[in-house]
Amino acid sequence: MNNQWQETMLAEVKAGGRISDQHIVDMIRQAVLSQRLPPGTRLPEVALGEIFGVSRSVVRKALTRLASYHVITQQPNQVARVCAPDIDETHEIFAARRLVEGEVVALLAGALEPEQCAVLANHMEAEKAAYAEGDESARIEHSLAIHHYLADHAPNRILGKMLSELILRTSIVIALYKQPSLASCYLVGDHDTLLACLRDGDAEGARRAIDQHLASLEQLLDLRAQENRIDLAAIFGKLGG
Amino acid sequence: MNNQWQETMLAEVKAGGRISDQHIVDMIRQAVLSQRLPPGTRLPEVALGEIFGVSRSVVRKALTRLASYHVITQQPNQVARVCAPDIDETHEIFAARRLVEGEVVALLAGALEPEQCAVLANHMEAEKAAYAEGDESARIEHSLAIHHYLADHAPNRILGKMLSELILRTSIVIALYKQPSLASCYLVGDHDTLLACLRDGDAEGARRAIDQHLASLEQLLDLRAQENRIDLAAIFGKLGG
DNA sequence: CCACCGTTTTTTGTATACACTATGGGCAGT
DNA sequence: ACTGCCCATAGTGTATACAAAAAACGGTGG
């Protein structure tokens, strides 16, 4: 049933106070990232309006913005759906992120204050602790915090914004294609070498570290999944029709 | 007076048929690029609605999308205005574009079919002809066509989209800061060397060519303007406060 | 049993009305 | 003459109503 996430959101709405389009954007984005809203989920405007207690006007604005972030897809006269990038697009997203994040950390190398490095180091320790405890969602949260910190402090704000969006899209495809069996073993170590390069002002080393980190991440995904998914979809389609 | 562009748009509306939000987006974007809508121009929803013959709903959707393209800025309860990036942001836009377009042409090097190269070559000849005739707007149009062609044919569609947006933003700041005195002398030649590299499959050469091309372009802008603007702002700020 | 077609239901597209907020100009006080 | 306040105006924020399109459903004929 897809009433699950609706209830979750409703609860948050009841708890919180007034709801604006930005809140809706944030909540839907979070719900997508945490896989409470699986890719392909239909997002009818009236239903969302009832859930959040606002009218379609506000929902539409939120959906428009979510579409510009590539969280959902909107086609004329059709209901909005949660994005489900295909394998090709996934590779392209990773390639773009390698380029942008590589440049960001290269610019950042040697430009970070000691306390900023400390913030990063804290997140990395927390990430390792979460990994040791097997708390995967906490590990992911800290990992995201690291990368978002890099994006937010990029000397070039345009590249920073780009990186933020790419981190979001990367998270979506990871949620989509990650094979549950494989653990994120190497990834934690990558962050340490990155931090070392940032401290030393080794721009090219930082770029390489990020590049390798993202390559490892991409390796963890199941790119054969395409066949499986298509088969399943076809089967269910036949059964349902 | 700013009734000029309104009349132009009205004429186009009368000539054309139905108007959708996408049309409005395109027309406003074009108007901004061709400087019919100077930076800072107010864009009230009701006025636009009357001009295009649609209601505020459609206008609002168009404005939201224009904001996501960074063509206009929107603040709560305030009139939307045409973007006017400051000098810092201008440099950052150029830096981001150098990175992205450099990667795109590097990916494209050796991957273009002969007829695709021919298309580029045609635009370059047309650009040179326009330059020789002193038809600056035609030259710009062909130059934009070249870069958009590269963006549209990028092997990585995400990078292609990014490049498209960066070309747009670059055009805006060029329209903003270009000093009318300086001609675009070297720029035409850059395109030729780029094409040669693309044909030869010289990825790094193509990257360098684009890099230098964009650097030259940035040089043509008047970045001292900052002092003037800031001085004026500071003066008025002091007087006002 | 399956495919095709018309009808009903769902969902989006657009216009419009009302409420709230910001902006600008005039007026009184200094 | 200048400053501060108040009110009129302009403009956006939100909700809602109606029209059009798409999707889902059921019935009919092969």
Whether residues B103 and B47 fall in one domain: no
Whether residues A200 and A186 fall in one domain: yes
Last residue of a domain, one of A59, A82, A105: A82
Whether residues A36 and A127 fall in one domain: no
* Rounded CA–C1' distance between B77 and D13, in angstroms: 8
Question: Which structural domain range is residue A55 located in?
Answer: 3-82
What stretch of H or E contains B205?
Answer: helix B203-219
CA distances from B231 to A188, B12, B21, B192 (A): 49, 41, 40, 41
**Given A61, A96, A159, which is nearest B96 (Cβ)?**
A159
Rounded-to-integer distance, Cα B172 and Cα B70, Å: 10
Cβ distance B156 to A96 less than 8 Å, yes or no, reads: yes
Whether residues A146 and A188 fall in one domain: yes
The pLDDT > 90 percentage for chain B reads 69
Whether residues B65 and B104 fall in one domain: no
Query: pLDDT tens string for chain A (241 positions)?
Result: 444 455 555 555 555 556 788 999 999 999 998 888 999 999 999 999 999 999 999 999 999 999 999 999 999 999 999 999 999 999 999 999 999 999 999 999 999 999 999 999 999 999 999 988 988 889 889 999 999 999 999 999 999 999 999 999 999 999 889 887 766 666 778 899 999 999 999 999 999 999 999 999 999 998 874 544 444 344 333 333 2
Written in H, E and C, the secondary structure of chain A is CCHHHHHHHHHHHHHCCCCCHHHHHHHHHHHHHCCCCCCCCEECHHHHHHHHCCCHHHHHHHHHHHHHCCCEECCCCCCEEECCCCHHHHHHHHHHHHHHHHHHHHHHCCCCCHHHHHHHHHHHHHHHHHHHHCCHHHHHHHHHHHHHHHHHCCCCHHHHHHHHHHHHHHHHHHHHHECCCCCCCCHHHHHHHHHHHHHHCCHHHHHHHHHHHHHHHHHCECCCHHHHHHHHHHHHHHHHC
Report pLDDT digits (tens) over B8-53: 555 555 555 567 889 999 999 999 988 889 999 999 999 999 999 9
The reported pLDDT for the residue numbered B55 is 96
Q: What is the DSSP letter of B42?
A: E
Number of structural domains (chain A) is 2
Q: A129 to chain B nearest CA, in Å?
A: 35
What stretch of H or E contains B14?
Answer: helix B3-15
Residues of B in Cβ contact (< 8 Å) with A61? 60, 64
Whether residues B99 and B188 fall in one domain: yes
Q: From its phi and psi, is residue A79 left (phi > 0), alpha (psi between -120 and 50) or beta?
A: beta
Q: Report which of B100, B119, B214 is spatially closest to residue B165, judged by C-alpha positions.
A: B100
Query: A21-33 and A56-68 are packed helices; what angle lies between their axes, rounded to 10 degrees?
Result: 50
Nucleotides of C under 7 A from a protein CB: 10-17, 21-23
Q: Assess if residue A162 is contained within a domain.
A: yes
Q: What angle do CA A197, A198, A204 make, to 5 degrees?
A: 60
Q: Assess if residue A229 is contained within a domain.
A: no
Q: Assess if residue A232 is contained within a domain.
A: no
Cβ distance B96 to A64 less than 8 Å, yes or no, reads: no
Q: Assess if residue B231 is contained within a domain.
A: no
The reported pLDDT for the residue numbered B232 is 39
Which of A94, A104, A156, A172 is the best substitution to test chain B (most B C-beta atoms within 10 A)? A156
The reported pLDDT for the residue numbered B158 is 98
**Given A64, A96, A162, which is nearest B64 (Cβ)?**
A64
CATH number at residue B49: 1.10.10.10
Tokens found for residue A110: 């040697």
Q: Report which of A156, A157, A150 is spatially closest to residue A214, judged by C-alpha positions.
A: A150
Establish whether the CB of A67 is closer than 7 Å to any nucleic acid atom in strand C. Answer: no
Size of interface A-B (CB pairs under 8 A): 47
Residues of A in Cβ contact (< 8 Å) with B159? 92, 95-96, 99
Q: A127 to chain B nearest CA, in Å?
A: 30
Cβ distance B156 to A64 less than 8 Å, yes or no, reads: no
Residue nearest to nucleotide C15 (CA to C1'): B55
Whether residues B77 and B94 fall in one domain: no
Q: Report which of B184, B84, B92 is spatially closest to residue A158, judged by C-alpha positions.
A: B92
3-state secondary structure of B189: helix
Chain centroid to CA A125: how far?
21
Q: How many residues does chain B have?
A: 241
Whether residues A100 and A210 fall in one domain: yes
Tokens found for residue B201: 């499959």
Q: Assess if residue A235 is contained within a domain.
A: no
Q: Assess if residue A237 is contained within a domain.
A: no
Last residue of a domain, one of A82, A106, A139: A82
Q: B158 to chain A nearest CA, in Å?
A: 6
Whether residues B145 and B166 fall in one domain: yes
The reported pLDDT for the residue numbered A10 is 53
CA distances from A2 to A9, A10, A37, B78, B85 (A): 12, 13, 8, 38, 44
Question: pLDDT at residue B171 above 50?
Answer: yes
Whether residues B113 and B179 fall in one domain: yes
CATH number at residue A164: 1.20.120.530
3-state secondary structure of B73: strand
Q: A187 to chain B nearest CA, in Å?
A: 25
What is chain A's Cα-based Rg? 19
Whether residues B109 and B9 fall in one domain: no
- Count Cα atoms within 13 angstroms, Cβ side, for A195: 21
Q: Assess if residue B138 is contained within a domain.
A: yes
Q: Average per-residue pLDDT in chain B?
A: 86
The reported pLDDT for the residue numbered B44 is 97
The phi, psi pair for B155, rounded to 5°, reads -60, -30
Residues 124-153 of A with CB under 7 A from strand C: none
CB A103 within 8 A of CB A179: no
Q: In B, what residues contact A, Cβ < 8 A? A: 60-61, 64-65, 68, 89, 92-93, 95-96, 99-100, 103, 156-159, 162
Last residue of a domain, one of B82, B111, B137: B82
Q: B187: how many CB neighbours lie within 10 A of its CB?
A: 17
Rounded-to-integer distance, Cα B31 and Cα B5, Å: 8
Cβ distance B96 to A162 less than 8 Å, yes or no, reads: yes
User: What distance separates the 2 farthest-apart alpha carbons in chain B?
Assistant: 63
Whether residues A74 and A91 fall in one domain: no
